[in-house]
């Protein structure tokens, strides 16, 4: 299949929300886009019993439906000093106080991944965020290399020293976190008893963020940051248009909500 070239122009922009005039209790079918979305339901549903579904098909279905997923680019080091670098899209922020992030390492049929072993043994590692300019560099580190292989050697990326942990951070990443192991939770399948994966809770000790990425408010500018996300199969995604929707506050919206619900 022939694909068009990657569009390197800066297309991301802030826009209005999809339905900027939405009001309390307004149903989805009140807009043309909403009605078009609901028409798809006429083709019916599949209801899948995960206990009976093929394991690989379940994996493919879930990673295609739970999207977009942020990517944690994890740098670790073994007790013997061998460094490891790998991307994980089962990754997210947990809480800001204490500052915790999480990622999950799936276990292969024959062995535990180097990342899991390194995190459990050394307790210190870095989690870096991937941006568009080096996504190919990051992707190559997902290779199914033999144990003990240093993915840095094929990535073309640069090791930068950390201030708190032994593991390097990725110099090309504009946002990197030095982490300590907070908790490692082995996921045991309730039927087979197999340890299928390990959930890592990481305590963020230090954050490295490039000055040119920060707004006047001290937050990361998503347009400059150019983060990438994972979709299903081997697909990645970039940011498209960005829209902002204020979070309603009960103290100021209570009367409007009561008026809207009384009309139902």
Q: For the chain, what are the domain ranges? A: 55-262
Q: Report the SS3 class of residue 202.
A: strand
pTM attached to this predicted model: 0.94
Interstrand relation of 175-188 and 124-129 (parallel, antiparallel or unpaired)? antiparallel
Contact present, 170 and 70 (Cβ < 8 Å)? no
Query: In a 3-state reduction of DSSP, which class is residue 5?
Result: coil
State the maximum Cα–Cα separation within the chain, in Å, rounded to a whole number.
69
**Is the distance from CB of 128 to CB of 169 less than 8 angstroms?**
yes
pLDDT of residue 147: 87
b/e map of 212-249 (b: 16 or more CB within 10 Å)? ebeeeeeebeeeebbbbbbbeeeebebbeeeeeeeeee
For 153-185, write each residue's pLDDT tens digit: 999 999 999 999 999 999 999 999 999 999 999
Instruction: Tell me the average pLDDT across 143-157.
Output: 93
Relative to beta strand 159-160, strand 169-170 is: antiparallel
CATH topology of domain 55-262: Pnp Oxidase; Chain A (2.30.110)
Per-residue confidence (pLDDT) for residue 9, from 0 to 100: 86
pLDDT tens per residue, range 6-29: 998 888 999 999 999 999 999 999
Mean pLDDT score, 118-142: 98
User: Is residue 111 predicted with pLDDT exceeding 80?
Assistant: no
């Amino acid at each position: 299949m022939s694909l068009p070239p990657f569009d390197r122009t800066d297309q991301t922009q802030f826009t209005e929300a999809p339905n900027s005039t939405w009001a309390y209790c307004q149903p989805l079918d009140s807009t043309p886009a909403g009605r078009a979305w609901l028409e798809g339901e006429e083709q019916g549903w599949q209801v899948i019993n995960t206990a009976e579904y093929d394991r690989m098909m379940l994996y493919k279905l879930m990673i295609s439906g739970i999207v977009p997923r942020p990517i944690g680019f994890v740098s670790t080091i073994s007790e013997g000093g061998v460094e490891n670098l790998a991307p994980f899209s089962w990754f997210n922020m947990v809480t800001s106080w204490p500052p915790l992030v999480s990622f999950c390492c799936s276990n292969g049929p024959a062995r535990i991944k180097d990342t899991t072993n390194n995190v459990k043994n050394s307790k210190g590692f870095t989690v870096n965020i991937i941006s568009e300019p080096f996504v190919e560099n990051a992707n190559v580190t997902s290779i199914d290399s033999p144990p003990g292989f240093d993915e840095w050697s094929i990535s073309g990326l640069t090791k930068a020293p950390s201030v708190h942990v032994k593991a390097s951070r990725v110099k090309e990443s504009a946002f990197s976190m030095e982490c300590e192991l907070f908790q490692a939770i082995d996921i045991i399948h309730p039927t087979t008893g197999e340890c299928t994966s390990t959930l890592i809770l990481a305590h963020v000790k230090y954050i490295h963020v490039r000055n040119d990425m920060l707004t006047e408010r001290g937050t990361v500018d998503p347009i400059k940051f150019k983060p990438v996300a994972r979709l299903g199969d081997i697909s990645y995604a970039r940011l498209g248009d960005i829209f902002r929707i204020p979070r309603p506050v009960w103290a100021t919206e209570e009367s409007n909500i009561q008026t809207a619900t009384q009309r139902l």
